[in-house]
Every structure is written in structure tokens, then in C-alpha cells.
Structure 1
């Protein structure tokens, strides 16, 4: 699985390389900010035209994580759909794919700022939910919590990667969906939310924990290649 195991409020959690969070004892897989239907929403509103494959890419990643973990419960932490109309705009093949993933599992949708109302996709809908010692919500607001919303990202070896952020009292998940941007870890908003000593757990082929950057990286000017 190549995940990184850590503890939050005595719960043993695994940050997966895909950006999903796995809670083995609860058999719960948690993902945030799927933004399903983003390409359709942008086309509908006259924005930039994107290849309409992000929903398929996101569902494929989710399928792989469900198969790898055998999760019995799935919790989506808000902004699962890119706007209120995106769920109804899924093509039939994508809707059926989602239904197959939901079949036989407890599926909880947390409402987000992009999808503040229930859809007709099934499952249950909550503003937030507390399971054991942890509270799950879309936007960080307290302690012993798991949230999303900010799409944190960090650089490693010059490459930007989505990342988890944790400081021992709260956890912020990366955006799971394709075609999602991100907020740099050193942004003042995230610096204010996370205590000193926080970790950024980078996604990719392996989940890699590093100290959370709290300042923008220094870019060295290139030296001139011609003689003066």
C-alpha cells in the first residue's frame, strides 16, 4: 500500500499514496474534494474546455483503493460534486460505476461548499459526523478532526504534490479528484491552522512525510553562462 501510518486522537490512520485516508480498525476509507463533473460544469458555464475524463479518472482511483483496502464504509468529506447540478449531469456509465462502488457499503456524504445539498445518488448525508474520537467535516473548525476543502500541496525535488497536513490535533486531506488545483502549504491560511511541528504527507507512488513548509521556497537566481 506504501502508505504512512500515524495517530490522531489515539486513532491509527494510514495516509495512502492516492490521497485517501484509511482507518483500518473501522474499515473506513475517507476521501475529500472529488469534484466529480468539473469538466462538465466548466463547459456548462462557458469556462475553459477540459477533456471530459476527470470523473472516470477519479472513480478509477477510488475503485483501486476500495479493492486494496476492502473498505466496508466510505466517507466523502465534501465537494464530492463540482456544483449542485454536477451529480445529475453524470453520464450513465459514470453514474452506474458510482452505484457499483456504493453497493454493499455504508456510504456517507459530508456536505461541502460546492455541494451544500443532498443529491439523488444514494447514501446518507451529514453536515459533519463524529466516529469514535474523530469528527469529520468539510472545513477545519476544531480539534480531533479530519477535514478537506483547502487542497494542500507541497513540493519535493521541484515537483508539486498534493499532501495531507497533520499536527497531532487535526488532519487536512488533499483533494482526491482529478483536475483539482491546490493551496501551497506555506500559504498563511494553512500556516495559521497547523501548529509548529506539523507534517506534510506527500502523495505519489509512496506517501512521504516531511516537515510542513511554513515559508515559500527560496529560488536561487541562475548564474550567467557568458563571461563578463
Structure 2
């Protein structure tokens, strides 16, 4: 991607902290040995099926398996899921036995935090780990939805950002991490999640636009792209 920022970097900075965006759509915080994921939307297929909209019922297994590969590779001490981990709160009690066993195996031996989202404002104790409305680590606030007036570093999910650029005469549209150095909006991790272009008006109040970068996910790397190069849909 020649349209990237002048130097291809492997880490981005939020506040004074360094993070590594991963091709899979998760964020690793080395100094905290923490892995952050957003918008898993587990059991979305089942939730749609209950409303008569049939989707293949394999999204939970696919999402947990992808997460498991990251956990196996990084072996983080802490996992933080930034909300909308389940497509509906009640879905958390409806995992099939194999998926529930897989989830609990991923949690074993590490600290696990579930931040509540707009899709899953209440989660049962059966999901394991710690359920909370938000979490602050070393001055960085982790929550699901962007705050209206963030006064300090913030990492959120909810908006499922996607970036679109022109590359060698073709248009490339990919999931991305959107950041201005103070706020970071995470891409959605779930198998059945869509996305919203970062040029959409919803994103306008969230960033200092002259500092915006979209870290776009390629096949083998994550590429920082200057905000001035981004295209609307």
C-alpha cells in the first residue's frame, strides 16, 4: 500500500502508551500484556434465527476460534472485550456446550473483563471473568461507546470502522483501527459484523481530523493510512 504514512510502523500511540494493532482485528498492549477486542457479537446467527432470519449458526465458534489463535500466539495475562460481546444479553446463557467449553478454556489462567455494550447491557455470572461498564488502565479509559467529551485517552468499539482508499487505480475497502492519538475506535472482531466508513458523519466529532490515521488491515500487516487519503463510500 504505497499510499500509507511515510514510514510503515508496527505500533500506534494512544496518550503515552504504545499498542500493536493486529491483522485479525485485535489490539495488543505490550506493557500491560493485555489483548483488546471489540464487538464479538457472539450468537448473532442464533439471534437472527430466532426472528426468522436464517444465517449459518457457526459465527460463535468461528469468532472464538480466531480469538483462541491470538491467545495461543500471545499468551496475554489480560483480555478486555469492549462491549457487544454477545449480540443480545440473553444469548450469553444460550451458548451450546462446545462453545461454552471453548470460551471457558480461553479464560483459564488469565484475567478476563467483559465491558457491557448497547447489545449486551447485562451479562450473567456464567460468562466468567469480570463484568463492568468501563475499565481504566494507566489512565486509558476502555469503554464500548465513545464518550461525548473525552478528556483523556480512550479506546472504544461500537462503530465498526472501515476505511476506503484508492490504490493503483483500484479502490480498497478494509476494516481499520481509527485513531487521532487520543481516541481509538476499534474494528469489529465478530464473524458476522459489518462496518461503517470512517468518513461517515458519525465519526466527525470524535477526532482531531488533521491527526487522524486509519490503520487498515491487509492480509499480512496493518497499514497506517493518513486521514487525508481516505475516501467516502
The normalised TM-score by structure 1 is 0.90
Give the 4+ runs in structure 1 shifted more than 4 A.
Answer: none
Counterpart-to-counterpart distance in 2, 1:194 and 1:185: 10
The answer as to 2:63 corresponding to 1:58 is: yes
Which protein has the bigger helix share? 2
Post-superposition offset of 1:38: 0.3
Change (3 A) 1:55 1:214: same
- CA root-mean-square deviation: 1.6
Structure 2: which 5+ runs fail to align?
A: 1-7
Report the equivalent of 1:147. 156
The answer as to 2:204 corresponding to 1:198 is: no
Post-superposition offset of 1:11: 0.8
Report the equivalent of 1:42. 48
Counterpart-to-counterpart distance in 1, 2:230 and 2:48: 33
Post-superposition offset of 1:204: 3.3
Report the equivalent of 2:222. 207
Post-superposition offset of 1:214: 5.7
Counterpart-to-counterpart distance in 1, 2:30 and 2:182: 19
**Residue deviations 1:69-105 (CA, integer Å, cap 9, x gap):** 1101000000000002211221110000000000111
Q: 2:199 aligns with which of 186, 202, 209?
A: 186
The answer as to 2:232 corresponding to 1:216 is: yes
Q: 2:92 aligns with which of 72, 87, 91?
A: 87
Aligned 8 A contact 2:43 2:91 in 1: yes
The normalised TM-score by structure 2 is 0.88
Counterpart-to-counterpart distance in 1, 2:188 and 2:32: 22
Aligned 8 A contact 1:77 1:138 in 2: yes
Higher CA-based Rg: 1
Paired residue total = 215
Change (3 A) 1:195 1:26: same
| Correspondence list, 1:106-121, <5 A | 106-119=111-124, 120-121=126-127
**Residue deviations 1:180-226 (CA, integer Å, cap 9, x gap):** 01111110111221212200011232111102356526xxxxxxxxx
